[in-house]
């Protein structure tokens, strides 16, 4: 044994005890953070809600992480291929897995995540760019219970195509509409997210569908903020 090995071991144990390493790395003692996902059709209020919830929760004393949406992070892959949505899903999944084993934050607000991928695989099937078995493969992977159960709450937010267009063009610098931000596409996306919710809800009780068509922004944020606090409190094990 090296001359100073015993001394080094004793020093290391004192440092680890000071750092409370036996506690800080134990997910059975310190709970993982609550992860919340927001997904849905364009201009349904998702981004507005996330921004306001971030401020609201921080003022209540929580440490909150609001990662970039996958669409902002993943810009090097064209949106004309299923690979794009698979990659944005992997980006969200990486955050979900990594943060679930850290104790840096109390709440993580995911702007589109693994449930979002489920709906996009339906989209690519409709476009005939994925076969049925391929869709099933990717949907099963992204919603594996190994990590889908880590989502404390997931909100599917939708609104009518007419209202979506009004919101989209309210302060836009251009009236040019994108492939997924025109009335026909929005109607299809609303239907797709609604169907995805209905299929997933029986297996994933943490999901909730919210139609924001008639809600003012303040009412929308207040509604979801109230629902979220209730959902997180319900995740606390009963003694």
Q: Where are the beta strands (DSSP E) in 182-230?
A: 207-211
CATH code, domain with 200: 3.40.50.300
The DSSP call for residue 192 is H
Does residue 1 sit in the same domain as residue 81? no
In whole angstroms, give the CA distance from residue 126 to residue 132: 10
Does residue 85 sit in the same domain as residue 202? yes
Question: How far is the CA of 31 from the CAs of 8, 62, 98, in angstroms?
Answer: 32, 14, 14
* Residue 9 domain-assigned (yes or no): yes
Contact 110, 128 (CB under 8 A): no
* Residue 239 domain-assigned (yes or no): no
Contact 119, 88 (CB under 8 A): no
Please count the structural domains in the chain.
2
Tens of pLDDT, residue by residue, the chain (239 residues):
566 888 999 999 999 999 898 888 888 888 999 999 999 999 999 999 999 999 999 999 999 999 999 999 999 999 999 999 999 999 999 999 999 988 899 999 999 999 999 999 999 999 999 999 999 999 999 999 999 999 999 999 999 999 998 888 765 544 454 555 678 888 999 999 999 999 999 999 999 999 999 999 999 999 999 999 999 999 998 87
Q: What's the confidence (pLDDT) of residue 181? A: 62
Domain residue limits at 99: 31-234
* Residue 168 domain-assigned (yes or no): yes
Does residue 22 sit in the same domain as residue 35? no
In whole angstroms, give the CA distance from residue 54 to residue 194: 26
Does residue 6 sit in the same domain as residue 83? no
Q: What's the confidence (pLDDT) of residue 173? A: 40
Does residue 79 sit in the same domain as residue 17? no
Q: What's the confidence (pLDDT) of residue 204? A: 97
Does residue 12 sit in the same domain as residue 79? no
Q: pLDDT digit string (tens) for 74-93?
A: 999 999 999 999 999 999 99
In whole angstroms, give the CA distance from residue 154 to residue 109: 10
In whole angstroms, give the CA distance from residue 37 to residue 122: 19
* Residue 41 domain-assigned (yes or no): yes
């Amino acid at each position: 044994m090296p001359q100073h090995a015993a001394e080094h071991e004793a020093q290391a144990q004192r440092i680890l005890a000071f750092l409370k390493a036996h506690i800080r790395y134990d997910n059975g003692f310190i709970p993982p953070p609550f992860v919340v996902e927001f997904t849905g059709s364009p201009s349904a209020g998702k981004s507005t809600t996330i921004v306001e919830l971030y401020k609201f929760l921080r003022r209540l004393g929580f440490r909150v992480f609001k990662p970039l949406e996958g669409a902002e992070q993943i810009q090097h892959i064209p949106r004309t291929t299923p690979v794009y949505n698979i990659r944005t899903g992997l980006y969200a999944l990486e955050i979900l897995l990594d943060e679930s084993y850290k104790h840096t934050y109390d709440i993580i607000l995911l702007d589109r995540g693994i449930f979002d991928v489920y709906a996009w695989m339906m989209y690519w099937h409709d476009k005939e760019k994925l076969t049925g078995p391929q869709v099933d493969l990717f949907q099963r992977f992204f919603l594996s219970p190994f990590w889908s159960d880590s989502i404390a709450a997931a909100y599917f937010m939708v609104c009518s195509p007419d209202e979506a267009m009004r919101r989209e063009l309210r302060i836009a610098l251009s009236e040019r509409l994108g492939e997924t931000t025109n009335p026909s596409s929005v109607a299809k996306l609303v239907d797709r997210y609604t169907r995805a919710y209905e299929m997933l809800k029986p297996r994933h009780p943490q999901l909730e569908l919210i139609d924001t068509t008639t809600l003012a922004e303040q009412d929308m944020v207040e509604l979801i903020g109230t629902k979220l606090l209730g959902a997180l409190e319900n995740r606390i094990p009963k003694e």
